[in-house]
Structure 1
């Protein structure tokens, strides 16, 4: 494993410019844990390190960024974003159930409460760098690259704000200080969704023009490329054409075609392709590979949450963590491409046989081979059930996560050993799915739509049958939505997909199902679905998150709250 390749990328640099007002004297004591503004602005190396660190965030709440500071998403956390959806529930809550049970409010935002603050903090940090970059002693080509990187990072943060809150405050290049007049309404005026999207897309076009096509050495890996910015543009344009962003109606053919073209532009780069060495292996590979467009790479000095102990079965003395829901398991097709059906006696008698191979690569279920033995979630006596060791960590659903898990890493005493996976923010399969959806909506299910979906279904290690020919536009839409659910499970897409499609009032109001497996004395097994978390609920207002109450109060109540949360 090339463990040292990204050490430079995540040097942690703390200095006063991060914090408005920290240039004021404080007991006249010079802090020893920060680098001064003057040092950063006079040292090219320190300034570049500051820019690089904008790929990271800051820990704003308990358990966030455990083992490392947060990145752009929830990938290396205990409770994943999937546990706010019909993909999984988090065994020990960790402020996720408030969202699953529809109790979200401005005063109680659960694990979603830091998005607004962290995003605007990062935007301010990017603005600080952009304002000062012209005065840094550096080659013009170096300045151009850093400018493009900062615009990409800032665009990513705005994309996170838009997809969670809808209307956002556009700060331009402003750097607000504590002495500014925070009663000025312009500081808190939320732009329309369309204005926000137009701003971010323009920023991305500038970033694309200035970023390299590829990072050509290990020291640069993990920094933005043209492909990364183009992938973000593809995602944003897909969202922009979706019903949630158009008042509940699907976007125009022109909007969908623009989204399709953005995905096609990534495909036309000719440098990305589907990983063919095993579906689950792409998430544990120690090196970058052909499917990775943009990732947070493992860093020897910044190990992340040890996913194996956090999510593993209690029979191994692991903690259960993000427990997959039966809702997801039921959606994996049979090997022949037909739907799984509990009313089919052969399916019900052996529900894990002859299923889409991605299921066994994503989820540990009763009978899965894991670390030298079969997983046992049956009762009585199953080692990974309530009758097993560490039973307080038994999965509430009867399932455990396998995706992202590296069996070569230890469960016991993983500290300073595990936490070495890379987290893929953008991968090529998403781009193919973006293209298929947008092209289908723009002009129907032509050959290119089939080709995009079938290439994912028929990659090595998956080998699912191609989609049936002759599908209508509506039928293809359902197939594409299903394929996104399966292919991108646990990768932070489902939360946003069901909202932008405006189907969350159906999917998120389904009970949170698990499985109860009973073994008779003769060894035969019977399966019965159960409710694993009571009171799951989604209301219309939940299509957007509430802005935390403290942010509204900090604006002297000028900042507009999202509808339904006042």
Structure 2
């Protein structure tokens, strides 16, 4: 089947409402904007407007054309968690060091503004779609698509800031009376959750089951709406939100599973992230030539290959990959050898992280000193990883590292995939009724997927033991996919995980042997209770004439 891929539409990147004015010889119509009159009269143009709502505007430096979340770019969202650090900072360290403030949110500073801009655009389209010459069936699908996009934007607002300002279907314009404080009143978390769930429930029946010639790749299907609903329901039941039930979250995930439309990728775990039409992928973004994102290969590969280091994994994450025995490396019976630390480990480690001696592009990675080509003794040592690791996941070795512009960076960014749905179900079902057979089955399907082949979970786990195994499975299966930042917050364990030092590894070569020593790669990691939510940018509060309520602690 075809899957959801977001193509960047370059022919309709901006629009504006045309104001009436006296026509004279000085009037010049801008060539980069489309008037409301033309937009509503041309069904092709209006549909392009709808599909472009999957994208956002670039609002700060080092930010490609964004979609939902951050995706592929210089610093990935994983570098704000205990998965990675971004080697050259780029406004990430202030967040992991607990220094973010309403005046400076670093790379997290654009979520609020971009989300509400997109919500207004969706509301405008919904308010005017009846004026556009579509068949009634197609009009219903487009309206459902807009409601899906709008719900996703509210999901971003909720997961970053808590209760959102719900705009309904209202379209506000310049000159409108905005003096009513109710316009800026934030809803509760539960009200926001209920709104998102209701919107996705309403959108799903009118969305197509799959992409087709008439419903192009990159657009929401009913599977995408149901998968986002399942994620929302899982978050809602989690301790931070406390706005739903685990039983409802399990049922929402089971609804996606019962579609019998998605399955785990059979071409190997690493290849999944290079394969845009895998049946595992429920919703994704694909980049096209001349509209590519910043190529991950040059951004995050080792300095010895001419790359820039970029998003460098932490020892904290590496330690959580089990051995092939299915046991934690802290278990003395696991077979783990700290001086041969990467042998006999979960295959997803090698598929996700480049470590000393890992095979990459025809040679072994050399993070050791002295003399390692991917160490501080190697090429362009200012790009050397501070952690001793480099990112492997998502990289396509067919793409060049040197001079990759417009010929690399076309791998998909996956928003939702079937493995996440299985893990969502397992977590919710375990919390609702305990570790029954369906919980084991969901987790073991992922552990034993082709290209991974980890042992099944041991029988007889308690609910708490199963909870720990599911959380660790999410950690390694979904690494770098923008889940960890939100998972540790919704579980309310970020005050523990984000206050552990950012560890790396020092590798020293002596003859033919290596010595591995843990180190602190970035000092000052700090998480406080207020950091469970981002602060609302000060500029947004000031623009409301101080009517928007700031999050507690800021």
Structure 2 residue aligned with 1:491: 481
Provide the secondary structure at the position in 1 that maps to 2:241: helix
Structure 2 residue aligned with 1:228: 224
The partner residue of 2:432 within 425, 442, 466 is 442
Listed as ranges, the gaps of 5+ residues in structure 2 are none
- Where in structure 2 are the equivalents of 1:462-501 lying within 5 Å? 462-501=452-491
Alpha-carbon shift at residue 341 of structure 1 (Å): 3.5
Q: Is the 8 A contact 1:9 1:222 kept in 2?
A: no
Alpha-carbon shift at residue 242 of structure 1 (Å): 0.3
Once residues 74 and 268 of structure 2 are traced to their aligned partners in structure 1, the CA distance between those partners, rounded to angstroms, is 25
Structure 2 residue aligned with 1:57: 56
Question: How does the TM-score come out when normalised to structure 2?
Answer: 0.96
Structure 1 residue aligned with 2:298: 309
Listed as ranges, the gaps of 5+ residues in structure 1 are none
Provide the secondary structure at the position in 2 that maps to 1:243: coil
Q: Is the 8 A contact 1:376 1:382 kept in 2?
A: yes
Once residues 397 and 8 of structure 1 are traced to their aligned partners in structure 2, the CA distance between those partners, rounded to angstroms, is 34
Please say which of residues 445-454 and 134-143 is displaced more in the overlay.
Answer: 134-143
1:492-548 deviation digits (Å, cap 9, x = unpaired)? 00000000000000000000000000011x221101111111100000000000000
Structure 1 residue aligned with 2:520: 531
The answer to whether structure 1 residue 195 and structure 2 residue 195 are counterparts is no
Structure 2 residue aligned with 1:40: 39
- Where in structure 2 are the equivalents of 1:82-97 lying within 5 Å? 82-97=78-93
Once residues 6 and 81 of structure 2 are traced to their aligned partners in structure 1, the CA distance between those partners, rounded to angstroms, is 33
- Where in structure 2 are the equivalents of 1:383-398 lying within 5 Å? 383-398=373-388
Structure 1 residues 7 and 82, CA gap change in structure 2 (3 angstroms): closer
Provide the secondary structure at the position in 2 that maps to 1:180: coil
Once residues 29 and 10 of structure 2 are traced to their aligned partners in structure 1, the CA distance between those partners, rounded to angstroms, is 25
Alpha-carbon shift at residue 7 of structure 1 (Å): 5.8
Alpha-carbon shift at residue 347 of structure 1 (Å): 1.4
Structure 1 residue aligned with 2:102: 106
Structure 2 residue aligned with 1:542: 531
Question: How does the TM-score come out when normalised to structure 1?
Answer: 0.94
Alpha-carbon shift at residue 301 of structure 1 (Å): 3.8
Q: Is the 8 A contact 2:291 2:406 kept in 1?
A: no
Provide the secondary structure at the position in 2 that maps to 1:244: coil
Once residues 490 and 45 of structure 1 are traced to their aligned partners in structure 2, the CA distance between those partners, rounded to angstroms, is 37
* C-alpha RMSD of the superposition: 1.8
Alpha-carbon shift at residue 349 of structure 1 (Å): 1.3
The answer to whether structure 1 residue 505 and structure 2 residue 532 are counterparts is no
The answer to whether structure 1 residue 289 and structure 2 residue 278 are counterparts is yes
Provide the secondary structure at the position in 1 that maps to 2:450: coil
Once residues 476 and 50 of structure 1 are traced to their aligned partners in structure 2, the CA distance between those partners, rounded to angstroms, is 46
Structure 1 residue aligned with 2:15: 15
Alpha-carbon shift at residue 31 of structure 1 (Å): 1.1
The answer to whether structure 1 residue 216 and structure 2 residue 212 are counterparts is yes
Structure 1 residues 117 and 58, CA gap change in structure 2 (3 angstroms): same
The partner residue of 2:67 within 64, 67, 71 is 71
1:209-233 deviation digits (Å, cap 9, x = unpaired)? 1101111239611100000000000
Please say which of residues 180-189 and 468-477 is displaced more in the overlay.
Answer: 180-189
Once residues 76 and 546 of structure 1 are traced to their aligned partners in structure 2, the CA distance between those partners, rounded to angstroms, is 24
Q: Is the 8 A contact 2:290 2:406 kept in 1?
A: no
Structure 2 residue aligned with 1:183: 179
The partner residue of 1:430 within 420, 426, 429 is 420
1:68-109 deviation digits (Å, cap 9, x = unpaired)? x11112112110000000000000111100110000110111
Structure 1 residues 342 and 453, CA gap change in structure 2 (3 angstroms): closer
The answer to whether structure 1 residue 264 and structure 2 residue 254 are counterparts is yes
Alignment size in residue pairs: 547
The partner residue of 1:143 within 135, 139, 142 is 139
